[in-house]
Amino acid sequence: MLELGCGTGTILAGLRTFESLTGIDRSPDMLAIAREKVPRARLVEGDISDFDLGERFDVVICVFDTLNHLPRFELWEALFACTRAHLRAGGLFIFDVNTVTKIHGLAAYPPFFLEAGPVTVAMNVDAPDGNGLSQWNIWLIERHRDGSLSGLHEPVWELGVELEEIENGLPTAGFTVLETLDERGERPSGESERVHFATRPR
């Protein structure tokens, strides 16, 4: 089993039934945490839209809107092609996406705040630009004993892609779509916020 964008290894750690686990992520810091969490997994630092691991897998997953973080649809198509090249015949490619509807909805919300001891986490989402790219702004603000403040701002980008464009891109990359379900386990509609895809190589 291969996970694209495995981050700190939380998903891999829960997949104990697989004899062989591989994860790929571009962040060496996250992979360092993943190595502690899932020592038996093969972890690779790399680009999920351009990789060659030299083997094929029964299952490839890309979950929790990781795909949305690729800022151009051409990179989604490149990921589909790389995934297809790494799947055995009869294998499965499973992924999910935040929909255009969800991203627009988040942009309409006021900023979100979370208190975590001396640290305040704040987040707001900018409306997508003309290319469907939205910036998620995350701030960490720490209050020190002397009353001073320090902070960190981390911009995170997400691309919203219409479901029809995704469904058209998968056959081009050599996939058959087996099933799509939204966050309620229903057939996706214009109101769906997250859509899960189960696909198989043709």
Instruction: State how far the Cα of 75 lies from the Cα of 163, in Å rounded to an integer.
Output: 16
pLDDT score for 113:
95
pLDDT tens column, 108-145? 999 999 999 999 999 999 999 999 999 999 999 999 99
pLDDT score for 16:
82
Using DSSP's 3-state secondary structure scheme, residue 106 falls into: helix
Beta bridge partners of 114: 121
What are the start and end residues of each CATH 3.40.50.150 domain in the chain? 2-100+160-201
pLDDT tens column, 43-102? 999 999 999 999 999 999 999 999 999 999 999 999 999 999 999 999 999 999 999 999
Average pLDDT, the chain: 96
Asked if residue 8 lies in contact with residue 37, where contact means CB atoms within 8 angstroms, the answer is yes
pLDDT score for 71:
97
The pTM assigned to this predicted structure is: 0.93
pLDDT tens column, 157-179? 999 999 999 999 999 999 999 99
List of E strands, the chain? 2-4, 22-25, 42-45, 57-62, 87-98, 112-116, 119-125, 133-143, 149-159, 175-182, 194-201
Which of 3.40.50.1820, 3.40.50.1220, 3.40.5.10, 3.40.50.150 is the CATH number of 2-100+160-201?
Answer: 3.40.50.150
